[in-house]
Amino acid sequence: MNKHRYVAVMAGGIGSRFWPMSRATYPKQFLDVLGLGRTLIQQTVDRYKHLVPAENIFIVTSAEYVSLVREQLPEIAADRILAEPYRKNTAACIAYITYKLIAIDSKASMIAAPADHLIMDPVAFGSVVNQAFDFVETRDALVTIGIKPNHPNTGYGYIQFDPEVRVGEVFDVKTFTEKPNLEMAKTFLASGDFLWNAGIFTWSVDSILAALERHMPEINELFQAERSAFNTSAEAEAVERIYSLCVNTSIDIAVMEKAENVSVIPADFGWSDLGTLNSVWDNMEKDYFGNAVVGKQVMVVDANNCMVHAAGDKLMVLQGLKDYIIVDTPDVLLICKRDQEQAIKEYVAEVKRNFGEQYL
């Protein structure tokens, strides 16, 4: 393996759209949402163990989740777990791991990826990752992975690539578009030159540092001022100071949508960002009637196209429902029509207003 290749697994989100499975104290990246025996963050790390040296895998997470990371990933050394004192989105996260790596290995290249995505074909995924690493190691480029769309999804951002400007299977990016409406998504799908934005990035530390300096100087200057503290006993205090002043913004908005050296690799390896409970149903094994069930003691009778996630040993008997999401946790039961799942955020807000934060 190439000793200069690194992985930054971004694992600080709270997964609010997965409520009540995902909670602020135990978010979805630490859950086995598909009933596969491995949590999402464990599956993510499993994929990268075959692509980079084990000691080159870093986890960037919220300080409150460090103990969960250590529990679920005991093979990751403590100094490879970076604790963010505040949630400031992916721009600060990327800057943190960049300055960490620069101090370790000036020849480093890295892939930065979310901890909570599903990838069904790890072999094909590995091939794309190696292709991205090969590309950025010989060029000043910021590479993102785009997923070939198979339906007009309105829940993803889109990347438009230039089919005429390419190096092998790596294409220049023309535009980024935030989540479109259905008609626009249909137009994107028909055009053939739009991809879903997977939020998986590859670059050399030199290239991303130059991009940070140029496109988000207000954040970069904070990290630059504390540069000498990284990988020393003073790092935690320095990061506290930095994050207290950082703006909350994504790397997509801060850098990728502005930079001129962005490329994309179109890919198809069975990807889902598992952004909603419906997407879990999409990717779960189903019975003859389209029901997807995770739970030790669940009995389904005369029901169709339901997703059931039951925690604990309580017997659940489900009868007569069609197209429902049922999530049963020790303290919350959610029963929601699948086509109304986007309202779950509203329900969470209402729960907070009426019952405080104990159920969040």
Please give the pLDDT value at position 340: 87
Cα(293)–Cα(285) distance, rounded to whole angstroms? 8
Same domain, 228 and 247: yes
Please give the pLDDT value at position 313: 83
Please name which of 333, 321, 322, 320 lies closest in space to residue 359, comparing C-alpha atoms: 333
pLDDT at 119 over 90: yes
List, for residues 122-169, the tens digit of each pLDDT value.
Answer: 999 999 999 999 999 999 999 999 999 988 988 889 999 999 888 989
Please give the pLDDT value at position 315: 92
24 vs 16 pLDDT, higher one: 24
Check if the beta carbon of residue 293 is closer than 8 Å to that of residue 277.
Answer: no
pLDDT at 14 over 90: no
**What is the extent of the structural domain holding 157?**
5-272
List, for residues 194-235, the tens digit of each pLDDT value.
Answer: 999 999 999 999 999 999 999 999 999 999 999 999 999 999
Confidence class of residue 66 from pLDDT cuts 50, 70 and 90? very high
Cα(250)–Cα(252) distance, rounded to whole angstroms? 5
Please give the pLDDT value at position 282: 87
92 vs 179 pLDDT, higher one: 92
The percent of residues in the chain predicted with pLDDT above 70, rounded, is 100
Same domain, 162 and 181: yes
- Domain boundary at 272, 303, 329, which? 272
The whole-number average pLDDT for the span 62-66 is 96
Q: Is 356 left (phi over 0), alpha (psi -120 to 50) or beta?
A: left
Same domain, 95 and 184: yes
Q: Is 168 left (phi over 0), alpha (psi -120 to 50) or beta?
A: left
Same domain, 255 and 281: no
Do the domain assignments include residue 169?
yes
Instruction: State the average pLDDT for the chain.
Output: 93
Same domain, 69 and 168: yes
Q: Taking each helix axis from N to C terminus, what angle separates 217-225 and 235-245, rounded to the nearest 10 degrees?
A: 160
Same domain, 157 and 74: yes
The CATH number for 43's domain is 3.90.550.10
Cα(24)–Cα(38) distance, rounded to whole angstroms? 20
Cα(330)–Cα(310) distance, rounded to whole angstroms? 9
Same domain, 170 and 62: yes
| Residue whose structure tokens are 């100087």 | 217
Do the domain assignments include residue 140?
yes
Number of domains in the chain: 2
How much is the pTM? 0.92
Same domain, 199 and 232: yes
Structure token digits, residue 295: 């739970």
Rounded to 5 degrees, φ, ψ at 15 are 60, 50
Do the domain assignments include residue 90?
yes
Please give the pLDDT value at position 274: 84
Same domain, 327 and 224: no
- Domain boundary at 272, 304, 326, which? 272
Same domain, 291 and 225: no
Same domain, 41 and 24: yes
Do the domain assignments include residue 360?
no
The whole-number average pLDDT for the span 256-263 is 95
Please give the pLDDT value at position 352: 92
Same domain, 268 and 282: no
Do the domain assignments include residue 251?
yes
The whole-number average pLDDT for the span 178-198 is 91
- Domain boundary at 207, 242, 272, which? 272
